[in-house]
Amino acid sequence: MEIDDLRKLNDADLRKEYSESLRGLMNLRFRQATMQLANTNEIRKAKKRIARLLTLIGERQLTRT
């Protein structure tokens, strides 16, 4: 998903996407540790996605207060 697609999500969906991304990152790390991950760039992409989601969650919290 692009950042514009993420901005269209409501708060509950955004938090759900965040938790799924964290779980996905954990799975990528396990796969890397067991030498089953061929493309290690996926970890960097997952981290960036989590950072984007956290940024959007923070922006929404700031606009509400």
CATH of residue 59: 1.10.287.310
Pairwise CA distance, residues 7 & 52, whole Å: 10
Q: Mean pLDDT by 10-residue block, N- to C-terminus, for the chain (65 residues)? A: 90 96 98 96 97 96 88
The pTM score is 0.90
The whole-number pLDDT of residue 54 equals 96
What's the number of domains the chain is made of? 1
pLDDT at 48: 96
Could you tell me where the beta strands, DSSP code E, fall in the chain? none
pLDDT at 65: 75
Q: In terms of residue numbers, what domain contains 47?
A: 3-64
